[in-house]
Amino acid sequence: TAGHIGYHGVGRGKAGLVVVRDRVIVVPPYPRDVLSPDGYVVTEPARPVVPWPFRPTAAQPLSTFSIDVDTASLSHARRYLTAGRGVPSDLVRVEEIVNAFHYGDPAPTGDAPIAVHVEVADAPWQPANRLVRVAITSRPVENGDRAPANLVFLVDTSGSMRAKEKLPLLVDALRKLVDNLGEDDRVAIVSYASKAKVVLEPTSAADKDAILGALSKLRAAGYTNGGAGLDVAYDLARRSFLRDGANRVILATDGDFNSGETDNWSLQRTIRDKARSGVMLSVLGFGRTGYDDHRLELLAQHGDGRYAFIDSLEEANRVLGRELDATLVTAAKDVRVQVELNPAQALGYRLIGYENRGMAASEFNQEGKDAGDLGAGESVVAFYEVIPVPGTEHSAVDAPRYAADGSVREQGPAGGDDDEGVAQELMVVKVRWVPPKGGHSERLDVPVVDHGQHLDTASPDFLFSAGAAAFGMKLQGWSDPSRLVSWGLVEDLVRRSLAWWGADDARRQLLDLAQRARKVYGGP
38-73 tens-digit pLDDT: 443 344 455 678 899 999 999 999 999 999 999 999
Order of strands across the sheet with 23-26? Answer: 10-12, 17-20, 23-26
What are 112-122's pLDDT values in tens digits? Answer: 999 999 999 99
How far is residue 234's CA from residue 220's CA, in Å, rounded to a whole number?
A: 22
Helical H segments across 180-248, by residue range: 208-216, 226-239
What is the model's pLDDT at position 408? Answer: 54
**What's the whole-number mean pLDDT along residues 211-222?**
96
Q: Where in the chain is the domain with CATH 3.40.50.410?
A: 145-328
Q: CATH fold of 10-140+331-392+421-521, please?
A: Immunoglobulin-like (2.60.40)
What are 253-301's pLDDT values in tens digits? Answer: 998 776 656 677 788 888 999 998 999 999 999 987 777 888 899 999 9
**What's the whole-number mean pLDDT along residues 303-313?**
94
Rg, C-alpha atoms of the chain: 24
What is the model's pLDDT at position 518? Answer: 96
How far is residue 293's CA from residue 282's CA, in Å, rounded to a whole number?
A: 14
- Give the DSSP letter of residue 166: T
Residue 39: CB atoms within 10 A of its CB come to 10
Q: Where in the chain is the domain with CATH 2.60.40.1230?
A: 10-140+331-392+421-521
CB 378 within 8 A of CB 105: no
Ranking 27-36, 224-233, 399-408, 484-493 by mean pLDDT, the lowest is 27-36
Instruction: Label the pairing between strands 346-352 and 41-43.
Output: unpaired
Residue 427 has phi, psi (to 5 degrees) of: -165, 170
Residue 406 pLDDT level (bands cut at 50, 70, 90) = low
**Total H helices, total E strands in the chain:** 12, 21
Q: HSE-up of 313 (CA within 13 Å, CB side)?
A: 7
- pLDDT above 90 for 430: yes
- pLDDT above 80 for 501: no
How far is residue 159's CA from residue 157's CA, in Å, rounded to a whole number?
A: 7
The neighbouring-strand residues paired with 118 are 134
Q: What is the CATH number of domain 145-328?
A: 3.40.50.410
Higher pLDDT, 392 or 89: 89
What is the model's pLDDT at position 400? Answer: 58
Mean pLDDT of the chain: 86
Residue 504 pLDDT level (bands cut at 50, 70, 90) = confident
How far is residue 243's CA from residue 278's CA, in Å, rounded to a whole number?
A: 9
CA distances from 54 to 6, 220, 454 (A): 5, 48, 22
